[in-house]
Chain A
């Protein structure tokens, strides 16, 4: 079974994100970038399914600038077999990415697409769902457990009330949640081997997709700074303030 794993290059989770001084977005120049952690979980899951003999080939795909090659190489070092770079300098929004992925799915014909539930940069949580809709495939989002069978997949989902287990027919789109697995540490021999695996570039034009942004960002601001708190003399004053000023208790 072939699996497609879309991955996104984002600002590393350890970096303190700074807003550009002109308010047009966040600073990404000379900032450490790495694979979106949810996507890393998706790659890890695909590799585990392959090690279990369920999956036969893992193709990773990333949409963005040529710098995304680095992120694809990391996925290859974790254990993906080959990579596709949809090379574009245009700012990509979830719908454009979903359309690009649909085109890649048409070419590659995977039985399963596994991707992160959301990216930690814009937190959109849309691409997987849009892709499933465009393909007319079933979707299983926020997966915390995945059992792949011949014609279907049993997916445990993290929902507000707890855990929900559903069965989806294949082909399907699955988005990963945090507790699906713990990604492995990449080994040095696999980093070396990843360099020799295939990485094919393709353009949005070649895929026949118009990636022009549909949404316009008006302005990006820093979150408001937390104001200094006030000291209260006693518990009674605190209770009064909670009741009358903050209005958080009745």
Chain B
């Protein structure tokens, strides 16, 4: 089985020519992120991913994390890999150097996350959760809390977790019951949390849990939830580790995939209560969590991309090796299956969808950087609006797509895909969680429709539609050798964006009178927006590639493949925009017609 090899050429192309690395490099504080430095960072991260993380992926899946005598043990090799990962400084790449980070933009962090996800999704979840906890503390932690905890979390010496879910409170956190009782300068927490990723493990000496709980006497529902910092091992005033806090991992879940990632059931307060400190104001915990969750949702979208890329590589390598049946165009000998049209179709489908996801994710990452750092307030606001619109799309569409790509990778293998040893099955199982955690696809779609579309009357989305229209126009004007392909992309993208536009009008009109019908079309809408925006970014990629080709700049073979791939996506994958429009605009009469008893 081949190890993961980072698609550096495509990553660099997207960074420099689609997402605008030079513009991000020009943002205040990002002067270090020059193209040559980024190239070196990508190369070194790629090596680490292929040589350290990727070889642990399958053994980690087979061995899994285990709970033994109250202690969670990660699979063999994970401790050493985590030590190398943190010593390499990768854990803190996006954080301020003042707290030990490297101060790199999100745009540069995104391809690195993609690599770690591709190489070993289970491993990469640990730093992802730590990043989430760090962001929550940066957002609302007191100066003292930040100084006390952040440096050792940024370095990776300690890891972090996010504790939201309880058995009765999943997507609806208003139902959560974990209690916090005031006790001098701190609180004592009692309750059970489930689905806690890396809730306990042996990679680091301490774990900083961020826990949502309800202070005694707080209002019911979402307005009575506060956020607490609850260390596994209490930290003395001098920074040394003190006593074990009153919390433990009761058990680990048995899951379909990501077996190496320990998913813990956590019990807080079996005796005197787990000691925790309030982060931010009382009853404002969920708000903090939601701001932070945006970053986490984006990161899970990149997991969809990473799994898609890994699965594509495996299928491509297998299609080159596997010799079966003769070439349709003649010849007596059996040939590698990559020569057969249907296999080729599957590979093009995977390749084009992965490249579309990558371009969209990196473009959103660049907008995240602009939203944080751009000197002009209007540009910051515009970028933030774009990011807010796109987060549910990157999360929902890229994970659904990544999972479909992983499924096709199994199909390319034929019977061998169903056999675990080829690796394709693991990617398929591992990818399956990405459409569920950090908000299911349904939750993302409802967020897109409700908060991002209906709330501003689709103002931001119409802005995006206008930008796509400009891209359609620009593609039609390309001359020279790329003219033929770009004309097709322009035409198909123009048709698809009109489907999106019609759908948006219908949804706005329908939602005013029949909200249930509109919401029944939320997930198809998510797919439609993802598909059209993915094609848009591939169209922009084709335009950039055509420009480079005309100038005689860069690898002509790569650039031509880029344009052809964009054409495939526009001509084939994008045709679903028509059926999605029909599916949504037909309304939900039959969707919602049956009585509950008929199911």
Contact = CB atoms under 8 A, between A and B. Distances in A.
A188 B32 CA distance: 12
Contacts of B43: 34, 74
A188 B93 contact: yes
Interface stretch (B82-90, B125-133, B430-438): B82-90
A236 interface: no
B88 A187 contact: yes
Interface string B19-49: 0000000000000100011011101100110
B178 to A, nearest CB: 37
B40 A77 contact: yes
Interface in B1-25: 5, 8
A190 B89 CA distance: 9
Q: Is the interface of B mostly helix, strand, loop or mixed?
A: helix
A185 B84 contact: yes
B148 interface: no
Given A30-B555, A30-B558, A195-B32, A185 B44 contact: yes
Contacts of A73: 36, 40
Contact of B52 (A34, A185, A191): A185
Nearest to A34: B43
Contacts of B52: 185
B166 to A, nearest CB: 37
Given A30-B555, A77-B44, A188 B39 contact: no
A187 B92 CA distance: 12
Given A70-B36, A185-B84, A185-B88, A191 B44 contact: yes
A195 B557 CA distance: 31
B575 interface: no
Interface in A134-148: none
A192 B32 contact: yes
B102 A195 contact: no
B32 A70 contact: no
Nearest to B112: A188
A30 B549 CA distance: 13
Contacts, number: 51
Interface residues of B, number: 26
A29 B556 CA distance: 10
Contacts of A14: 5
B47 A188 contact: no
B41 A191 contact: yes
Contacts of B40: 70, 73-74, 77, 191, 194
Contacts of B463: none
Nearest to B556: A30
A233 interface: no
B219 interface: no
Interface string A189-200: 111101100000
Contact of B554 (A30, A77, A188): A30
A188 B89 contact: yes
Nearest to B51: A185
A1 interface: no
Nearest to B39: A70
Interface in B369-405: none
A178 to B, nearest CB: 16
Contact of A188 (B5, B36, B90, B556): B90
A186 B43 CA distance: 10
A34 B90 CA distance: 21
A7 to B, nearest CB: 15
A194 B43 CA distance: 15
Contacts of B5: 14
Nearest to A186: B44
Contacts of A194: 40
Interface in A1-60: 14, 29-30, 32, 34
Nearest to A190: B89
B102 A189 contact: yes
A20 to B, nearest CB: 14
A190 B41 CA distance: 10
A188 B84 contact: no
A185 B555 contact: no
Interface string B506-535: 000000000000000000000000000000
Contacts of A30: 554-558
A93 B37 CA distance: 30
A215 to B, nearest CB: 30
Nearest to A194: B40
Nearest to A14: B5
A34 B8 CA distance: 13
A109 B214 CA distance: 70
B32 A185 contact: no
A188 B43 CA distance: 11
A188 B37 contact: no
A192 B37 CA distance: 8
A185 B48 contact: yes
A187 B87 contact: yes
Interface in B548-573: 554-558
A171 B84 CA distance: 36
B51 to A, nearest CB: 8
A178 B189 CA distance: 56
A190 to B, nearest CB: 8
Contacts of B84: 185
Contacts of A185: 44, 47-48, 51-52, 84, 88
Nearest to B37: A195
Nearest to A78: B44
A195 to B, nearest CB: 6
Contacts of B48: 185
B102 A188 contact: yes
Contacts of A188: 41, 44, 88-90, 93, 102
B558 A191 contact: no
Of all A-B residue pairs in the complex, the 8 with the closest CB atoms, nearest first, are A30-B555, A188-B89, A189-B89, A187-B88, A186-B44, A187-B89, A185-B48, A191-B40
Interface of A: 14, 29-30, 32, 34, 70, 73-74, 77, 185-192, 194-195
Given A189-B89, A191-B41, 8 more contacts: A70-B40, A73-B40, A74-B40, A186-B44, A187-B87, A188-B89, A188-B93, A192-B37
9 contacts: A14-B5, A30-B554, A30-B556, A73-B40, A185-B47, A185-B51, A186-B88, A192-B37, A194-B40
